Amino acid sequence: EPEVTQTPSHQVTQMGQEVILRCVPISNHLYFYWYRQILGQKVEFLVSFYNNEISEKSEIFDDQFSVERPDGSNFTLKIRSTKLEDSAMYFCATGQARETQYFGPGTRLLVL
């Protein structure tokens, strides 16, 4: 069964550094999302992406965040200058239809 994959599984970085989180969607999926989950809390929406552009973004997704599909397959989330409060689990989700979303295993980001 096809799955969403994410790399790296863990990332430790210093505050102020840039990080790029990568996702490989299920091959025929057209809708792409990033969510995050702070330890012990619920899953929060960050951004949705369709047809090579952002469809919607949350208030968390400020100018420090960006997304792209650099090669038509991978889907990336970049945080330009990380803050301590960016420490969280970041999940990529993809779907054939807009709402039915399949999540990857996540990247645990720790900002020191």
Partner 1 sequence: GENVEQHPSTLSVQEGDSAVIKCTYSDSASNYFPWYKQELGKGPQLIIDIRSNVGEKKDQRIAVTLNKTAKHFSLHITETQPEDSAVYFCAAPGGNQGGKLIFGQGTELSVKP
Enumerate binding residues for partner 1 (CB under 8 A).
4, 31, 33, 35, 41-45, 48, 50, 55-58, 91, 95, 98-106
Closest CA to 78 of 26, 18, 37: 18
Min CB(2)–partner 1 separation in Å? 13
H-helix segments, 17-71: none
Name which of 3 and 85 has its Cβ closer to partner 1: 3
**Strands 107-111 and 10-13, sheet pairing:** parallel
Closest CA to 35 of 2, 12, 4: 4
Min CB(56)–partner 1 separation in Å? 3
Min CB(96)–partner 1 separation in Å? 11
Name which of 20 and 89 has its Cβ closer to partner 1: 89
The rounded distance, in Å, linking the Cα atoms of 37 and 83 is 15
Using DSSP, state whether 43 is helix, strand or coil: coil
Name which of 16 and 98 has its Cβ closer to partner 1: 98
